[in-house]
Amino acid sequence: MSIFNQELLSDVKFIIQDSEGESEHMIIPAHKFVLAISSPVFFAMFYGELAETKDSIEISDCEYESLFELFRFIYTDEVNLNPDNVMQLMYLAKKYMLPSLSDKCSAFLQENLDPSNVFHVLPDAQKYEEKDLLYHCWKVIEKDTEEAVKSDGFATIARSVLEELLEKYSLNIKEVELFKAVDYWAEKECEKQGLVADGSVKRRILGERIVKGIRFPVMEQKEFVGVVLDRDILSNKECFDMMKYFNSVQTIPEGFCGTKRAVHLNIISRFSSLRKGWLYSSGLPNSIGLSVDKNITLHAVRFFGSENNKYSVTLTVEDANGEIVGAKECIILSRHKQSKWVGDYPGLDVVFVPPIVLKANTGYYRFEAKIIGPPSWYGGRGRSYVECSGVSFFFESYTSLGFHTSVEKGQFSEFVFTLE
C-alpha cells in the first residue's frame, strides 16, 4: 500500500496557501524519513544539527499543486508534468537537490520548446544552469528567430540576453525585422522605467553593444530610410555615414558589421575524445594548419575552456603565402557547447566579423592562437581529415618549439562555416 499523501504513520504536515489566494490552506501529510532519504535538504531539515521539531511546516514559495507533485515524485518516482507546473517543479528540484526530477523537467521543456515560449524558458534555463536546455533554447531561437522575437516573452528578456542574441551569427530573420524587435524591446523598457520612449532614451537603454550588434549595412536602403531613420536611435552622423555607404560613397561605417547572418551554419569537430588539464598560463601560442577542397566562409573558431572562466584570446589566420587573412583579439567567457564527437564542454567562440573566406586547394592556412587563462579541457584522438557538408577538411601539425597543439591533441576544437 502506498503511503503517499496518507495520514498513516505521518509525522509532519506541509501547509500551503490555496493557489487561488484565499485564506483557506491546503495540507499535505508526509513522512520525515521518506523525505530525508530522498533529499539531503530534507535530511538536514529533519535530522541535522538544527533539525525542525515542529510537526507542521508552512510553505510560501510554491503552489500546492507543485509541492504535491514533488512529493509524488519522492514517494513513487513518478511526476505529472505540464506547462503550468514544470517551472516551479524545476525550482523545487533545485531547492531540494533532486537531480533526477530536474532532469525530467528539463527533458519535458526541451520536448515542448517552440518559438512562442522559448523566451520564457531561456531565463530559467540560465538561472538554474541547465546547459542542455539552454542549448536547445538557442537552437530554437536561431531556427525560428522571426517568430520568437514576436512572442510575448521577448519583451521581458534581460538586456544581457538581447546582447547575446544580437551577437549570434546565425539568425533566421531579416535584419530590418530584427531591428524592429529591438526597438519594440526598448519601448517596453521605457514603459517599465516610466521614461519617454524617444530615440536618445532608447539608445541609452539599449547600449552600444546592442546598437552596434544590429547589421544596418545589410539592409536595403529603402528599409533603412523607411524604418530606421524614423526611430532616431542612430546619431545624425551615423545616419549620414550609412547613407553614404548605401550610395557607394564610402565603406561600411566603423563599428558596424556588413556581413549577412547565416541561416544554416555548419560545424566540424576534429576530436573524438575530451580530456582535462590543458595549460594556457604560459602564454605560448597554439597552432594548427587547415586546408579545404571547396571555398568556405569561416564565421568562428572554437577553443576549449573551463567552466565559467574568462580567457584572453588573440587569433590570427595566415594563408600559405604568409599573408594575414583574418585576426581577432578578444576576452571571452567560456560557455556550454555541444559537439558531435566529444559531447558537452565549456568552450570559447572566437567570431570573425566580418567572416573570412578560405579558398579551396591553395595550401594550408595557419591558425595561431595566443590564449591566457586558467587550465582548460582539451581534445584527444584528433583526426587529420574531416568531411562536412560536402567539404573536405585537412589538418596538419606545426612542430616548432612552443606550439602545443597538434593534429592528435590540443585546441581548435571546432570550426563554424557556411558554403560559399
Bridging pattern class, strands 335-339 and 324-333: unpaired
Q: Are 137 and 121 in contact (CB under 8 A)?
A: yes
With cell 547613407, the residue in question is 243
Report how far residue 321's alpha carbon sits from residue 53's, in angstroms, rounded to the nearest whole number: 77
pLDDT of residue 23: 55
pLDDT of residue 20: 56
Q: CATH 2.60.120.820 in the chain: give the residue spans.
A: 266-419
pLDDT of residue 39: 95
Distances 45 to 30, 31, 34, 74 between C-alpha atoms, Å: 14, 13, 13, 16
Q: CATH 3.30.710.10 in the chain: give the residue spans.
A: 12-111
pLDDT of residue 213: 94
* Residue in 344, 345, 339, 323 with CA at minimum distance from that of residue 416: 339
**Topology at the third CATH level for domain 12-111:** Potassium Channel Kv1.1; Chain A (3.30.710)
Report how far residue 257's alpha carbon sits from residue 214's, in angstroms, rounded to the nearest whole number: 8
* CATH code of the domain made up of 266-419: 2.60.120.820
pLDDT of residue 360: 94
12-17 β-sheet, strand order: 25-30, 12-17, 56-59
pLDDT of residue 402: 46
Annotate 52-69 with three-state secondary structure: CCCCEEEECCCCHHHHHH
pLDDT of residue 52: 74
324-333 β-sheet, strand order: 324-333, 310-318, 365-372, 286-292, 391-396, 385-388
pLDDT of residue 22: 56
Residue ranges in the chain modelled with pLDDT below 70: 1, 18-24, 281-283, 399-403
Report how far residue 378's alpha carbon sits from residue 271's, in angstroms, rounded to the nearest whole number: 9
The single-letter DSSP state of residue 168 is -
